[in-house]
Structures are given as structure tokens and as C-alpha cells.
Chains A and B, each alone.
Chain A
Amino acid sequence: QKEVEQNSGPLSVPEGAIASLNCTYSDRGSQSFFWYRQYSGKSPELIMSIYSNGDKEDGRFTAQLNKASQYVSLLIRDSQPSDSATYLCAVNTGTASKLTFGTGTRLQVTL
């Protein structure tokens, strides 16, 4: 079983809609969770971090964490074509600074 799992997509949503990206993880001891956005050929860019159960909102982005279900999600409201990218879920496992990444979900926002 992979430690961090994401649906590879592509997830296609129309402009203005809500995009919902999901991630599950296997290590119950994980303490911190991150979402990165990566455009093709570019480096991952940190867009959200969440550390406690519940929702965390930042602009059009909302991260949701449910530690009991080992599930973390990212909602993007009012999706824009510029949101089209691969979204990587990362979980802090093992040593204090080691991140384990999912393989990413490709999001396509259509006009």
C-alpha cells in the first residue's frame, strides 16, 4: 500500500466551479499535511498547510483534514484556467522534516 495516495486524474472542471482534490495516507502518526501546486516542468509550490482536524481557508483554497479517516482534501473555489496544474499532497511522516508525496492529481479547468 502506498503511503500517500491520490487519484492521478485528470480532474476536469469548468471555469468558476469548485474543484475537489483528495488524498489518503497510511501513517496514523502523521502530524502535518501540505498541498503543493506544480505546473508542468516547474517546481512544486506550497499553497496550503494544515495541522489539525477541520477546515483551513486561504483565499479560494480550503484544506480539510480528518485524521480519524486519514484523509486530507483541497477545495478550490471559483476555479480559473490558471489553476490547471498537478496538485501534490504531502504528509510529514517519520523524521520531523521528511515529507512523503503522493503522485499528484492533474487538474484541468476548462473554459
Chain B
Amino acid sequence: EAQVTQNPRYLITVTGKKLTVTCSQNMNHEYMSWYRQDPGLGLRQIYYSMNVEVTDKGDVPEGYKVSRKEKRNFPLILESPSPNQTSLYFCASTGLAGGYNEQFFGPGTRLTVL
């Protein structure tokens, strides 16, 4: 089954404790991205990756890092989380369908930073 997976699905942590949210896709897609979703603000892109070892900042990259060492994996790293990073996070993978790119989302990770 074609899918995007994320782990963990729920995480409560404390300020300053480094964490990683994993993302994996089995569709051989080149483009992957991370979003956060906050009430009233919608989905905002944090980082994206066009391919292995190619990453770039999205609209709200501050406080986040990513890496893309393998095509299927795109982890999101918070080196020193702060309470304003409490949010719902989605990983997404984009592939061609009918000649155009269509984006598919993982199940989400709800992060709370105390």
C-alpha cells in the first residue's frame, strides 16, 4: 500500500530536549516536505526536499532542521524545542499523477512542548 508514515504520532516533551520526528514514504517520490498546522494559520511549509541531499527552507524554518540521506526518509529535527513549536506536524510526499504533481500527507504528529 502506497503511504507516508510518521513517528511518533503523539509526543509531549520539555523545552530544550532535542527530538526527531521520522517520515518515510514507499512511493519512490523525489519531493518531500514538512508542514505545521496551527488554528487560524492553516498549513505552513517548514522545509522541503527536492531529492537526496537537496533540502531548502519553506515559509517557517526557524527552529527546525531536516536531512535527506535516503530517498524514502525525511526526518524533522528540533534541536532545542520551545513551547511555540507546539503544533500538529505533517510530512508530505509529492509524485507525478497524470503529468502533474500530487501531494500526499502522512497521518500527522501532535507535538506538545512544555
Interface of chain A: mostly helix, strand, loop or mixed: loop
Q: Are B100 and A97 in contact (CB under 8 A)?
A: no
The size bracket of the interface on B is 20 to 34
Q: How far is the CA of A34 from the CA of B97 in the complex (A)?
A: 13
Q: Mark A23-35, 1 if CB is under 8 A from B, else 0.
A: 0000000011010
B98 CB → nearest A CB, Å: 8
Size of the A side of the interface (Cβ < 8 Å), in residues, is 23
A46 touches B102 (CB 8 A): yes
Give the complex CA separation of A43 and B42 in angstroms. Answer: 12
- Please report which residues of chain A, range 47-100, place their CB below 8 angstroms from some CB of chain B when the two chains form the complex: 49, 51, 88, 90, 92, 95-99
Q: Which residue of B lies closest to A96 (CB)?
A: B101
Contact B42 A97 (CB under 8 A): no
Contacts of B33 in A (CB 8 A): 97-98
Residues of B near any A CB (own CB < 8 A) = 31, 33, 40-43, 45, 48, 50, 58, 88, 90, 94, 97, 100-108, 110
